[in-house]
């Protein structure tokens, strides 16, 4: 049996005085992923898709945020909206989509205000 897959959404608010840098938040979340034996490469790939790399992440140190909520969804639950590689024709090799989180209440695992 394969691993489960969860979507972890971290909400932040701008906080230039007491907030954390994007690098600080990334480091904290890398620790969470490691503690849960998660796949770090998925996290790194998502960061890269947004243009964040180890070389440029410090360019954003002047932007500070405070996490205020996190939500976790069960991506393996029946009916969760997802694209599955085996169901996509081989001739399609790059797919991008946006997910409306307000439609995912049936798949909600955890909601925590921070």
Q: Does 99 map to a domain?
A: yes
Q: Does 1 map to a domain?
A: no
Average pLDDT over residues 92-112: 91
How many CB atoms sit inside 10 A of residue 73's CB? Answer: 22
**Distance set, CA 83 to CA 12, 16, 73, 96, 113 (Å):** 27, 38, 16, 10, 29
Domain tally, the chain? 1
Q: Are strands 65-74 and 108-113 parallel, antiparallel or unpaired?
A: antiparallel
Structure confidence by residue, pLDDT tens digits, 79-101 = 999 888 888 999 998 888 888 99
Q: Long-range contacts made by residues 94-103, C-beta under 8 angstroms, separation at least 24?
A: 101/9, 101/71, 101/73
Residue whose tokens read 């639950």: 77
Per the structure, the complete domain to which residue 33 belongs is given by: 6-113
pTM of the model: 0.76
């Amino acid at each position: 049996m394969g691993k489960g897959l969860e979507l972890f959404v971290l909400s932040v608010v701008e906080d230039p005085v007491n907030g954390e840098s994007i690098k600080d938040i990334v480091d904290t979340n890398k620790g969470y992923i490691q503690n849960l034996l998660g796949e770090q490469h998925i996290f790194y790939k998502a960061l890269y898709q947004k243009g964040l790399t180890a070389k440029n992440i410090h360019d954003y140190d002047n932007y500070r945020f405070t996490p205020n909520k996190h939500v976790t969804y069960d991506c393996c639950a029946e009916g969760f909206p997802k694209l599955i590689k085996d169901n996509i024709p081989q001739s399609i090799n790059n797919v991008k989509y946006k997910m409306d989180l307000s439609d995912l209440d049936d798949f909600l695992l955890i909601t925590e205000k921070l």
